[in-house]
Structure 1
Amino acid sequence: MPRFAAIGLDHRHVYDLTAGLLAAGAVCAGHDPETSDPRVLTGFRKRFPDVPAMGRDRLLDDPSIDFVVLCSVPRDRAAMAIRAMRCGKDVMVDKPGVTTPDQLAAVEAAVAETGRIWSVALGRLTSASVQAALAVARSGELGRLVSLTSLAPHRLNRALRPAWFFDRAAYGGIINDIGLHSIDQFLAFADVSDATIAAATIGCFGTAPPGFEDFAEITLRSAAMTGSMRLDWFTPDGLADWGDGRLFLVGTEGTLELRKNLDLLGRPGGDHMFITCKQRTRYDGRADRPVAYYRDFLDDVRDRGGRMAEAGRLFSACRLALRCQAEAYRFVPVTS
């Protein structure tokens, strides 16, 4: 069974990644207790009490450890991933994997140099419902796809956020951070490795501290379809989840709506998919379906079978997110 180490316990996403890998059959050989947020470390130890604490150098130098999971402060992830790859480890990293074009170029060079796997655990990969929607789209049931609309609202949960969360240099900006999910999703549904940026907008609409990016919109085009994406940190506390994420697909023969987090009519859980075509409208709930990403990653670690071979598209998604972030029009809030 592949063995891994959890390094950089700075974001709570480390809980989901570790749990997904353990469920897929991996063994967590240790965790690095160095963190910028002791609450994340406490939560990790509560959830995984049998995973021993070890120093970072010891974990990276251990030849029995096959790969590392990185959830460090985003600006530090590229350097740590490169170090891990040069120590012979594959890497699964939380999004965003990089925060600057120079970091992305360095990661690409390290992958080419070492032959190691570098995978960003994006929402398209870790969501059974998005994978199901992608399968429907590729089956032809919707006809030719012409439009994708993605809504990705998030709850701020200010009390849970460490200081680096509000530092743009640390997280790379709203589009590079949470927008990377949406951009990668568009490339997958359009079945392309790159896209034209039709528009990108970022707003700092008053969420403290001043300058925090709390809203963004992106419009992308491929040769055959368009994609419109909205991201924000405005989910009200009254909602029963951290956000009401949605995906809408329009094809020449049908439409699909995916309610990722919740169903306003009260069906439990998330991953609610509604498909309408010429013959019927149907509902497909995916909340209990397994996610293949963790198993596929472990299989690639074992046999180098190329299941993570979409790295080329991953690099393109990261590059496109960085470009959108850099080129976006910035709204200045109107003050009275």
Structure 2
Amino acid sequence: MTRRLRFAAVGLDHRHIFHLVGENVAAGAECVGFCPETSDNRVLDGFRERFPDLQSLERDRLFDDPTIDFIVSAAVPCDRSAIAVRAMRAGKDVMVDKPGATLLPQVAEIEQVAAETNQIFSICFSERFVVRACEAASRLVAEGAIGRVVQTTGLGPHRLNRAIRPDWFFQPERFGGILTDIASHQIDQFLHFTGSTDAELVSSAVANHATRDLSDFQDYGEILLRSASASGFIRVDWYTPDGLPTWGDGRLFLLGTEGFIELRKYVDVGGRGGTDHLFLSNREGTRYVDASTEPLTYFHRFQNDVRDRTATAMPRDHALRVTRLAIEAQRNATVLS
């Protein structure tokens, strides 16, 4: 009989904590409690509404409990690395929201502690792992439906929702900047779908076009990546209009040697209802795939990795490689006027 894993939530600062907990429970693990410390009481209230039976416990008790197998966290981005390091030193694996860190020294420390403790450090890149269309695309690419993927274009628009954002959201030293934060999703997808183990940062740029009263904030970013076998373009922004019925028209284009795939992850502006729309064109023709029932696999695979000490959810160094590239893109970005 497969042992049921136990986990706890530490860092309730972003709403992504809802799926970190919910999807792990759905995958079979038991959430034994959460630390109620937060920078945004709306997140805490939403958490308690979704998980009314979970026990609120002091952070130290959760780290010190030897029966807890892993910690999940959606803390303020600049605080995530310290939580991960403490958890790993306490003998627990870690799943954090993106970005996993905001500074290169934090990445180096996570890497060192993970190596010393043999604990798993994983980032839940929700724009891939909680998007069923991405799961379907991964399956189709693995089956050879479009040949070898040689280029990706990832678009990550978001709605700003300025009035309900916590203070740290507008402080680059705390959330990392638009490329460190949002574009980590698209970097992850580039490496995954092209089968690249690393990439070169060719260029990056950021801008503040629409929020000039927030002098340190950036509402637009772009990156050009190149690996040994593929190239990728990334565009992220905070311009989603109020008239769009969701928080962003996230899209991914995969160009293969024998066809291409387009994902309209959250909305089809062409008129189809729902989410998870996939369009495939190859030698057999062109077809639409409703991917809304495609199974999510990351959380099951992560839990199997915790039990078996394997790396099926993502390659062991993938999370930190993505984080490094995102931080370097942010640090080296040209500032557009």
TM-score range normalised by the length of the shorter chain: over 0.9
> 1:132-171, aligned counterparts within 5 Å?
132-171=136-175
Distance 1:14 1:223 in 2: 35
Are 2:240 and 2:247, in contact at CA under 8 Å, matched by a contact in 1?
A: yes
Amino acid across the alignment from 1:234 = Y
Are 1:235 and 1:243, in contact at CA under 8 Å, matched by a contact in 2?
A: yes
Give the counterpart of 1:72 among 71, 75, 83. Answer: 75
Is 1:111–2:114 an aligned residue pair?
Answer: yes
Q: Which residue of 2 aligns with 1:199?
A: 203
Amino acid across the alignment from 2:10 = I
Amino acid across the alignment from 2:141 = A
Are 2:175 and 2:181, in contact at CA under 8 Å, matched by a contact in 1?
A: yes
Give the paired residue count.
332
* Offset of residue 282 of structure 1: 1.0
* Offset of residue 76 of structure 1: 0.5
Point out where structure 1 has 5 or more consecutive residues left out of the alignment: none
Distance 1:204 1:26 in 2: 42
Q: Which residue of 2 aligns with 1:32?
A: 35
Amino acid across the alignment from 2:85 = I
Identity %: 49
Are 2:114 and 2:120, in contact at CA under 8 Å, matched by a contact in 1?
A: yes
Are 2:225 and 2:232, in contact at CA under 8 Å, matched by a contact in 1?
A: yes
Q: Once the two structures are superposed, what CA deviation does each residue of 1:195-225 show, in whole Å capped at 9, x if it has no partner?
A: 1222111111131422211100111112222
Q: Which residue of 1 aligns with 2:132?
A: 128
Are 2:148 and 2:194, in contact at CA under 8 Å, matched by a contact in 1?
A: no
Distance 1:327 1:106 in 2: 21
Question: What TM-score comes out, normalization by structure 1 length?
Answer: 0.96
Q: Which residue of 2 aligns with 1:307?
A: 312
Distance 1:308 1:144 in 2: 21
Amino acid across the alignment from 1:192 = S
* Offset of residue 300 of structure 1: 1.5
* Offset of residue 128 of structure 1: 2.4
* Offset of residue 309 of structure 1: 5.1
Q: Which residue of 1 aligns with 2:58?
A: 55
Amino acid across the alignment from 1:189 = F
Q: Which residue of 2 aligns with 1:235?
A: 240
Distance 2:106 2:313 in 1: 20
* Offset of residue 317 of structure 1: 1.1
Give the counterpart of 1:220 among 222, 225, 244. Answer: 225
Q: Which residue of 1 aligns with 2:88?
A: 85
Question: What TM-score comes out, normalization by structure 2 length?
Answer: 0.95
* Offset of residue 270 of structure 1: 1.1
Q: Which residue of 2 aligns with 1:180?
A: 184
Distance 1:52 1:258 in 2: 39
Distance 1:91 1:287 in 2: 28
Are 1:193 and 1:312, in contact at CA under 8 Å, matched by a contact in 2?
A: no
Q: Which residue of 1 aligns with 2:260?
A: 255
Distance 1:251 1:35 in 2: 44
Are 2:196 and 2:228, in contact at CA under 8 Å, matched by a contact in 1?
A: no
Amino acid across the alignment from 1:171 = F
Are 2:23 and 2:299, in contact at CA under 8 Å, matched by a contact in 1?
A: yes
Q: Which residue of 2 aligns with 1:298?
A: 303
Distance 1:174 1:231 in 2: 8
Instruction: Select between 198-207 and 178-187 the one with higher mean Cα deviation.
Output: 198-207
Amino acid across the alignment from 1:128 = R
Is 1:278–2:266 an aligned residue pair?
Answer: no
Distance 1:307 1:138 in 2: 15
Is 1:329–2:337 an aligned residue pair?
Answer: no
Q: Which residue of 2 aligns with 1:264?
A: 269
Residue 41 of structure 1 aligns to a residue whose secondary structure is: helix
Is 1:45–2:78 an aligned residue pair?
Answer: no
Point out where structure 2 has 5 or more consecutive residues left out of the alignment: none
Are 1:117 and 1:308, in contact at CA under 8 Å, matched by a contact in 2?
A: no
Residue 305 of structure 2 aligns to a residue whose secondary structure is: helix
Across the aligned residues of Structure 1 and Structure 2, the Cα RMSD in angstroms comes to 1.3
Question: Using a 3 Å threshold, how does the CA distance of structure 1 residues 290 and 140 change in structure 2: closer, same or farther?
Answer: closer
